Structure 1
Amino acid sequence: MPILTVRHVTTYHYKQPVAFGEHRMMLRPRDDDDQIVLESELEISPTPSQIFWARDVFGNHVATARFAERASELRFKSTMRLRHTPTDFREADIEDFARSHPFAYSEKERSDLACFLTPLSQHPRLARWAAAFLREDGSADTHKLLVDMTQTINRTFKHVARHEKGVQDALQTLELASGSCRDLAMLMIAALRSLGFGARFVSGYLHLGDGEDDDGDVGGNTHAWIQAYIAGPGWVDFDPSSGMVGNRNLVRIAIVDEPREAIPLQGTSIGTASDHLAMKVAVKVAAAADAEAECSRVCMVAAG
């Protein structure tokens, strides 16, 4: 049961002191059964005149900051420690009636899942691509279908760093056979919803070992993946960018219906367009060797 530490720093630089409008932050990890937040600290410079914490309709932590000071630099530093429990997706955990697709969610499940069942695309090409994971009679083993789709996207689509705002349409991602992590996630969500699965977008952090990041960063980065709802285990994490199934190395910040609802940090500055010079983001995710090592560190500090 590893202990993960996440540090996320975003800094805005301006040519001259500017005023700031409200800034909305989604930086604190969710409190879920498989990840428990031990410590969470948010440092903002200049210091906000007001800061409010709330939960949105999906249970995500949202902070809103208001500012009275003008400054030529605005800096947000979020530091978190959490206990993370890796979980797998096993066929044996699926309810008997749901082990073969298609299956029907209960009436209550359909009501609760309504916004996560709404189709994202009616295009025949997307439907054909999703149907390729089914047998000729339209059936499939649920576990195999979900794992195969995750790993097929990883294997046949190019994962690229795309810095433009927004998300590609699922059909565009299919045609290009490439996309950012958020694009590949939305493709998989669109495909699963076309097959009748409840699926939702997840935003957070990916823990990486040295040299594992395609973008050259070491230790971790912001990331996006999906969850699908399966009777039995409930919401299960699938990362089409890496082909991984389960929550290993994934830290959830937000679960949402649409990616625009999970932007980590957004706000406004009041000045001229030329005042903005740069925005820099640095993310580091580190793991203690194991829970016992972390306990030893804490005990030593307390004894000292």
Structure 2
Amino acid sequence: MRLQVHHRTHYVFSQPQARLVQLLRLTPASHEGQNVVSWRIDACRDARMKRQRDGYGNLVTMLYVEGPLTELTLTVTGEVVTEDRAGVLAGEAETLSPLYFTQTTVLTAPSPELVALAGEIGEGEPLAKAHALNTLLHERMTLLDFAAEGEPTAAEAFAAGEGIARDLVHCFIAVARVAGFPARYVSGHRYDPDATEATSHSGHAWAEVYVEGYGWVGFDPAHDMCPTDAYVRVAIGLDHREAAPLSGQRTGGGHEHLAVDVAVLPAVQGRVGQ
């Protein structure tokens, strides 16, 4: 599938900022099943951008903007050709051993209830166990369209029985690690042909687990499936904080309001925004 992604981020500050520094994890890499045809990041005003790879191998951009600054718009546009590989990742530059992804974080620490869930997936072939976990979480938790205030941990989200894709992924990772799988968080995009409005699409998230004999395999508990050619893989980390599209700091007082709009469409339908 040939997909076009349009990602717009608009910052508004209640007081002028002297400086803004942001780490942007917005650029996908090419690998087997994903070929980036074109990709660019633009700012509405003078800005310095430095592109590099981080410790996970993610393509990142450091953004530096000098003030006074009261608002800023970043626009990301690109086209990616994808192939359905049943969630199996290949051809990606791996910088870390799978064992690195067995460590827990604050957001993915397992509660007794999540440990018990690991017991429910039973014994058997590892890939089948990972699929069983994906289905269990999809059935046990309600997917929300919008995030509430704050960032719940896996334990808090599972106790509530609901969350956005990010929260279901944290639960999946917590249980997968208890079950002995190296597991990591993936941020990216998903095209949904059943969406009523293209602008309703937002960034998506799923998990990858390392399965002997297969390598890294993706699982999306929000939709009880493995990533297909409708998915664009962008960044990885131990949890959401390490793979979030935007993070950084600013110099200046007041409050910050951030609005993000993402549209994902088949490229054959024409360019987004026209």
Distance 1:202 1:11 in 2: 23
| 1:151, distance to aligned residue in structure 2 (A) | 1.8
| 1:34, distance to aligned residue in structure 2 (A) | 1.6
| Equivalent residue number for residue 282 of structure 1 | 261
Q: Aligned ranges for residues 41-190 of structure 1 at < 5 Å?
A: 41-48=40-47, 50-88=48-86, 112-119=97-104, 120-121=108-109, 123-134=111-122, 139-160=123-144, 161-166=146-151, 168-190=152-174
| Equivalent residue number for residue 270 of structure 1 | 251
* Greater C-alpha Rg: 1
Q: Aligned ranges for residues 236-251 of structure 1 at < 5 Å?
A: 236-251=217-232
| 1:10, distance to aligned residue in structure 2 (A) | 0.3
| Equivalent residue number for residue 199 of structure 1 | 183
Matched-pair contact (CA < 8 Å) for 2:188–2:231: yes
- Matched residue type, 1:229: Y
Matched-pair contact (CA < 8 Å) for 1:209–1:219: no
| 1:219, distance to aligned residue in structure 2 (A) | 6.2
* CA displacement 1:136-183 (0-9 Å, x = unmatched): xxx2233332222212211221112214343x2222222211112111
| 1:250, distance to aligned residue in structure 2 (A) | 1.6
Instruction: Classify the secondary structure of the residue corresponding to 1:283.
Output: strand
User: Is the counterpart of residue 24 in structure 1 residue 23 in structure 2?
Assistant: yes
| 1:118, distance to aligned residue in structure 2 (A) | 2.4
- Matched residue type, 1:222: G
Matched-pair contact (CA < 8 Å) for 2:20–2:66: no
| 1:124, distance to aligned residue in structure 2 (A) | 3.4
* CA displacement 1:89-108 (0-9 Å, x = unmatched): 69xxxxxxxxxxxxxxxxxx
Distance 1:228 1:247 in 2: 16
Taking structure 2 as the reference length, the TM-score comes to: 0.85
Distance 1:175 1:165 in 2: 16
Q: Give the direction of change, closer, same or farther, for the CA distance of 1:246–1:206 in structure 2 (3 Å limit).
A: closer
Distance 1:13 1:220 in 2: 22
- Matched residue type, 1:227: E
Distance 2:222 2:18 in 1: 39
**Runs of 4+ with >6 A deviation:** none
Percent identity (aligned): 27
Distance 2:149 2:38 in 1: 33
- The answer to which structure has the higher helix fraction is 1
Q: Give the direction of change, closer, same or farther, for the CA distance of 1:169–1:265 in structure 2 (3 Å limit).
A: closer
Matched-pair contact (CA < 8 Å) for 1:116–1:199: yes
Distance 1:28 1:89 in 2: 20
In the alignment, structure 2 segments of 5+ residues that lack a partner are 89-95
Distance 1:192 1:15 in 2: 42
Instruction: Classify the secondary structure of the residue corresponding to 2:155.
Output: helix
Taking structure 1 as the reference length, the TM-score comes to: 0.77
Q: Give the direction of change, closer, same or farther, for the CA distance of 1:13–1:81 in structure 2 (3 Å limit).
A: same
| 1:71, distance to aligned residue in structure 2 (A) | 3.3
Distance 2:43 2:227 in 1: 34
Matched-pair contact (CA < 8 Å) for 2:110–2:155: no
| 1:187, distance to aligned residue in structure 2 (A) | 0.7
| Equivalent residue number for residue 32 of structure 2 | 33
Q: Give the direction of change, closer, same or farther, for the CA distance of 1:33–1:4 in structure 2 (3 Å limit).
A: same
In the alignment, structure 1 segments of 5+ residues that lack a partner are 91-110, 298-304
- Matched residue type, 2:139: R
Distance 1:43 1:89 in 2: 31
Q: Give the direction of change, closer, same or farther, for the CA distance of 1:15–1:193 in structure 2 (3 Å limit).
A: closer
Distance 2:179 2:132 in 1: 14
Q: CA RMSD in A?
A: 2.5
Distance 2:109 2:16 in 1: 45
Distance 1:249 1:268 in 2: 33
Matched-pair contact (CA < 8 Å) for 1:221–1:283: yes
